[in-house]
A = this chain, B = another copy of it.
Amino acid sequence: MHRNPDPRGTCAHEETHGRPVDGDAVESRARAYAVSKGVPFTPMRQSVLALLAASGKPMSAYEIAEKVSDARKLKAVQVYRALEFLQEAGCVHRLASRSAYFACDHLHGERETAVFMVCAQCGAVQEAASELVARGLRGAAKTTGFRPRHPMIEVEGECAECAGTPER
* A145–B117 alpha-carbon span in the complex (Å): 11
Residues from chain B with a CB closer than 8 A to the CB of A157 are 141, 146-150
CA distance A151 to B151 in the complex (A): 17
Contact A155 B137 (CB under 8 A): yes
Closest to A159 in B: B146
Whether B153 and A155, one on each chain, are in contact in the complex, defined by CB atoms closer than 8 angstroms, is yes
Cβ A140 vs Cβ B156 within 8 A: no
Interface of A is mostly: mixed
CB distance from A100 to the nearest CB of B (A): 11
Chain A residues numbered 107-142 whose CB sits less than 8 Å from any CB in chain B: 115, 117, 119-120, 126, 128, 130-137, 139-141
**Is A163 interfacial (CB-CB < 8 Å)?**
yes
> A160 at the A/B interface (Cβ < 8 Å)?
yes
Q: Which residue of B lies closest to A164 (CB)?
A: B145
| A131 near B136: Cβ-Cβ < 8 Å | yes
